[in-house]
């Protein structure tokens, strides 16, 4: 069964921050405030200014994006509504649910986008063509 999430179900979550004289630390642990168990971690870096990344949707995988350094924006689309989120603090992250089209853009110089995913890589979980994505969303609506 497909998940019918909206862009409004995607949430920015404060992971907290522990401050020391020497600097700060943010802890991400499964089975804590984090919204899913992490099975894969990757990060985007050296993205040229003005370039975009992502531009796809997942069928079952949840993603959590953190601006580990610098800033970037995430454009969310559920086929009906669009929403744009700015990430610029390493203790805040965006939970992107399955079935949401997402693109990362407007990377600042030297930014790092840390991605924590609920599933290991599976090409069959990706929808990379926007018109196919809209068809997928229509099928979800039809099966409500």
Active-site residue, 56 included:
yes
C-alpha closest to that of 114 among 16, 48, 19, 40: 40
- Among residues 56, 62, 95, 132, the one annotated as catalytic is 56
The CA–CA distances, whole Å, from 99 to 82, 126, 127, 139, 141 equal 13, 10, 9, 12, 12
Give the integer Cα–Cα distance in Å for 100 and 57: 5
Q: Which residues are catalytic?
A: 56
């Amino acid at each position: 069964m497909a998940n019918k999430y909206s862009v409004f179900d995607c949430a920015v979550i404060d992971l907290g921050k522990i401050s020391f004289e020497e600097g700060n630390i943010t802890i991400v642990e499964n089975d804590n405030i984090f919204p899913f168990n992490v099975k894969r971690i990757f990060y985007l870096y050296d993205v040229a200014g003005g370039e975009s990344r992502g531009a796809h949707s997942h069928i079952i995988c949840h993603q959590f994006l953190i601006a580990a350094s610098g800033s970037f924006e995430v454009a969310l689309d559920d086929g009906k509504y669009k929403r744009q989120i700015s990430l610029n603090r390493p203790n805040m992250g965006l939970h992107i649910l399955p079935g949401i089209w997402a693109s990362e853009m407007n990377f600042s110089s030297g930014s790092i986008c840390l991605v924590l995913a609920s599933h290991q890589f599976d090409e069959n979980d990706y929808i990379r063509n926007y018109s196919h994505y809209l068809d997928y969303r229509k099928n979800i609506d039809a099966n409500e």
